[in-house]
Amino acid sequence: METIDAFAAAYPLDILVAENENADRLSTKDLLVQLGYLPDEASTEKDILKKAGMKQYDLILMDLRIPDLESVLGLSNPGPTITPIFIAIAGAVPRTFKDISLKARMDSCITGPMDRQELILQLKACSLLAGKCIVKL
């Protein structure tokens, strides 16, 4: 098993944390930094669209409360590029949140408080799906 300081090297991803609540955004970013990632962050739909227009992200961790969600979920760059994976993130929410996030065209969801092991599993899967995973499974 990989050490935690080598995690991001083994499962590389370009990540954008899109959360309009400052404390939640910083908490998610801190977890990712502890795993060795250097995620970008955005707090509004305009920030998300601007950053996604400048950089190809493998993963966007996004709060469903972001206004104008539809324009954000329509992200894709022209040409033979990979559309980012979207994972909905939320604090204490009802069990129906998974259904809501899937209806919103999210690829997956993580409910809070954010579980480190759940995040690790999601990051491993995303790295594999993005074709960047260097760990032999």
Assess if residue 112 is contained within a domain.
yes
Assess if residue 137 is contained within a domain.
no
Residue 79 has pLDDT above 50, yes or no: no
Helix (H, G, I), strand (E, B) or coil at 52: helix
56: tokens are 């190809």
* pLDDT for position 131: 83
Give the separation between CA 34 and CA 129, rounded to whole angstroms: 22
Give the separation between CA 110 and CA 101, rounded to whole angstroms: 10
- Confidence (pTM): 0.77
Helix (H, G, I), strand (E, B) or coil at 130: coil
- Which residues constitute the domain of residue 84? 4-129
Whether the CB-CB separation of 43 and 15 falls below 8 Å is answered with no
Assess if residue 60 is contained within a domain.
yes
What is the arrangement of strands in the sheet containing 59-63, beginning at the earlier edge strand? 40-42, 15-18, 59-63, 85-90, 108-111
What would the pLDDT profile of 8-36 be if each residue is shown by its tens digit?
A: 999 999 999 988 888 888 888 999 999 99
What's the CATH number where 102 sits?
3.40.50.2300
What would the pLDDT profile of 117-128 be if each residue is shown by its tens digit?
A: 888 888 998 898
